[in-house]
Structure 1
Amino acid sequence: MTARDERQVRRRRVFYIPGYDPFPPRRYRELYRREAAAQAAVSGHEISVTPGAARGGWGVEARIEGAEVQTQIEVLVWSDIVRASMGKGIAATYAQLLRTAWTYARTGALWRLMRLRKGPVIAAFYPVAVLLAQLALALLAAWGTGAAAATLLHPWAAPLGLAVVWPVLAWFRRQDGRLFAYYLMHDYAFSAAWRGANPPALEARLGDFADRIAAALAEDRDEVLVVGHSSGAHLAVSVLADLLRAGRVPADGPALGLLTLGQVVPMMSFLPDAGRLRADLACLSEQDTIAWVDVSAPGDGCAFALCDPVAVSGVAGPAKRWPLVISAAFTQTLSPERWRALRWRFFRLHFQYLCAFDRPGDYDYFRITAGPRTLAARFAGRAPSRSRIERPLSKHRHRAA
């Protein structure tokens, strides 16, 4: 740990990269405001959230661990790209289902992902199963309607039953705010469409965000912290790897940290055209400039919990130092009552890393983002989880030059 990592933090910049989410940054601002207040009530923090000057961001003034800290949080805005990718009709979504399933099966990624964690693979099968079930019910309704038409009108009227297929499918789609089948299908299709690469529009957005991080590294700050949640984790890895390779991380600048939460990196890195991501993972794993802590929990069925994203992707070299893989241990950091209330709310649990814990351990999102210690200092000497998975399982291991 360097001297800049040991300094007390009084001014911090946080750059948050969300996963595949159609909602604007204000959703994360309100989530932070609500959960910070809940954590403060448990842990004795003093935290206030104020409107931020940065686009898609907010300010935080806190007194934690006896120190006053000012933090500015900014969110990578790519919700418009997500919404555009979700703007598919019913027929197009079923075509996506076939292409996505074929991509993961034909490339061998599916079978290898199943050997890591069953939970996120089951989550990937969920929209496929639900959408096929909806189609089956629509066809069953068509058969019943056709049989009735043939009985009441004329045998030749049986094909009229097909007219109900589309209305039934359209009704199911209107219920997706509760079922999430279309949403998840679009999410997996977004990754599979480019076989592990980022689409140009997203790469351009990452380039702009990297410029903002580089500008923050030239400011009078004590720490710059990049946080990537869910599929935002692999985007955060790529952004920081680009800054490192371009020589844009000053040796005398603020402490720089990377916090990845509930990552699903293997869903991308196991695909054949993810050479850029695999190179980025290898780059970050061996450097000594950025502290990288990866937090997940076996209770999160939507994440590849405790899977070292570098090692399982097959790009860990002898000089590997990062990430530090630790567990948020939901069954210990949430009271039995709270755990029972959340256990089967899979999507809510996937966001628990950004929320309050009523029995917090050494992972506390608000201490990390608004407290007086750098990420490196806070986890210095912390042993990695003993149950982490490091088996290199990806079939595709080539890296972009």
Structure 2
Amino acid sequence: MGNQQVSPTQMGSKPEVTRRRVFYIPGYDPIHPRRYRELYRKEGAAQAGISGYEIALSPKTSGGNYGWHVESTINGTAVQADVEVLVWSDIVRDSMETSIPATYAQLIRTAWEYIGSGALWRLMRLRKGPVIAALYPIGMLLVQLLVALLAGHLLGLGLAWLTRFVPLGSESTAFAAHKMLGSTAYLVGMIAALWLLLRWFKKKDGKFFAYYLMHDYAYSARYKGANPPELEARMADFAKVIVEALHQDVDEVLVVGHSSGAHLAVSILSDLIRAGQVPGDGPKLSFLSLGQVVPMVSFLRNADRLRADLRYLSARSELTWIDVTAPGDGCAFALCDPVSVSGVAPDDKRWPLVFSAQFTKSLSPKRWKELRWRFFRLHFQYLCAFDAPLDYDYFQITAGPLTLGTRYADRPPSASRIDHAVSKFTSMAA
């Protein structure tokens, strides 16, 4: 039967779920959602082979959001799940469609917001990895600018030197003419090299990720932690889709928020619970936040809405909220309780349960060595197969016979989690 991991809670529980709706909210990602389907198909098959269960994908037959149908047999129980991606990649792409000068203007505004407000220094008290990731695009874009300026300076000097050999009339006027021509040639060379090199760097950003990450952080910093109007409208649409699923004949509605998608899910779920749209006799409502970067937003001065939603959701009985990160993921705030570190934990706080996916233990030494320095790949490891699985399995969570709450009912939080207030800004929306 392979290497399937079954906890005592799972062995002692009868199947609760035969039908599930899963809503996946991606992070700041401009890529078409079929990327997530192919990742699920490939990695799900790999995990099933390792852990000894069956899982298969088929096309989604209903309308609405992009998604796929999953059928599995896990621990002897057949389960059907419909997975949908709540797409905001079009908003991401629109936010990335800026010129090179506009990107450098973003750099100045974003750096000023995080550094000038003091948020950056507070974030550094949590985890260094995501802070380094935030500083990386600033440093890389400045290096690119310096390289382009140096190349422009050298090209300009070369062109100016060549103008000395251009015949320009009488000796009495040649000196002044050569000086003017040399200055013009230098300026032309400088501008040409600067523009061409900066365009080349931007074209190669699939290797450097400087522009991509700059746009990511700038998107949150632009409104100082508040959601842009177009994102608020899309989140309202997402809430309607989830509410519709909560009134269907399924056993669990599972919302998965990955990376930046985690803080979107916090606000979406808070909104629908506040509105009384979670039926008492409906399916179980579960929330799984993966590789979250909540503090990058909640520590900003105008993130009043997010901080209020974090506080509200952390005390609700209508859902189960599990937060999974890993110290091996340098792009996430690993083991940082997003509610507590934001300084808004209520006295009756019950969520989230924070624990580690333990990359260094749930991946074999060989596999860990292969992935150790692939930072962006590791940020997606939560959605992938583990070749030495422990108690975290994305595919059993999304396509298995137990609800999220039952699966981790006996799971203690990680002892090394950070759960004290760190944020300078703690104001909340009324």
After superposition, the CA RMSD in angstroms is: 1.3
1:130-169 correspondence to structure 2 within 5 Å: 130-154=140-164, 155-156=182-183, 157-162=185-190, 163-169=192-198
Match of 1:200 in 2: 229
Question: Among 92, 100, 117, which residue is 2:102 paired with?
Answer: 92
Moved more, 51-60 or 12-21: 51-60
Q: Distance in 2 between matches of 1:76 and 1:269?
A: 22
Residue 410 of structure 2 aligns with an amino acid whose one-letter code is G
| Pairing 1:128–2:138 present | yes
1:113-262 correspondence to structure 2 within 5 Å: 113-154=123-164, 155-156=182-183, 157-162=185-190, 163-262=192-291
Any stretches of 5+ residues in structure 1 without a counterpart?
Answer: none
Q: Is the 8 A contact 1:6 1:374 kept in 2?
A: no
| Pairing 1:62–2:91 present | no
Shift of 1:21: 0.4
| Pairing 1:285–2:314 present | yes
Question: Among 397, 407, 417, which residue is 1:388 paired with?
Answer: 417
| Pairing 1:350–2:379 present | yes
Shift of 1:7: 6.1
Question: Among 1, 11, 32, which residue is 2:40 paired with?
Answer: 32
Shift of 1:150: 2.3
Match of 1:77 in 2: 87
Match of 2:49 in 1: 41
Shift of 1:194: 1.2
Task: Render the CA deviation track for 1:346-368: whole Å, top value 9, x for unaligned.
Answer: 00000000000001111100000
Residue 257 of structure 2 aligns with an amino acid whose one-letter code is G
Question: Among 341, 352, 356, which residue is 1:312 paired with?
Answer: 341
The alignment partner of 2:354 has SS state of strand
Q: Distance in 2 between matches of 1:158 and 1:58?
A: 58
Match of 2:301 in 1: 272
Q: Distance in 1 between matches of 2:284 and 2:208?
A: 42
Q: Is the 8 A contact 2:15 2:77 kept in 1?
A: no
Task: Render the CA deviation track for 1:178-215: whole Å, top value 9, x for unaligned.
Answer: 11111110000001011111111111111111111111
Q: Is the 8 A contact 1:6 1:377 kept in 2?
A: no
The TM-score, its normalising length taken from structure 2, stands at 0.91
Q: Distance in 1 between matches of 2:71 and 2:15?
A: 19
The alignment partner of 1:153 has SS state of helix
Q: Distance in 1 between matches of 2:145 and 2:44?
A: 43
Q: Distance in 2 between matches of 1:83 and 1:55?
A: 18
The alignment partner of 1:292 has SS state of strand
Match of 2:4 in 1: none
Task: Render the CA deviation track for 1:41-98: whole Å, top value 9, x for unaligned.
Answer: 1011211111112421111000011100000011111110000000011111111111
Residue 16 of structure 1 aligns with an amino acid whose one-letter code is Y
Q: Distance in 1 between matches of 2:277 and 2:233?
A: 18
Any stretches of 5+ residues in structure 2 without a counterpart?
Answer: 1-8, 165-181
Q: Distance in 2 between matches of 1:198 and 1:333?
A: 36
The TM-score, its normalising length taken from structure 1, stands at 0.97
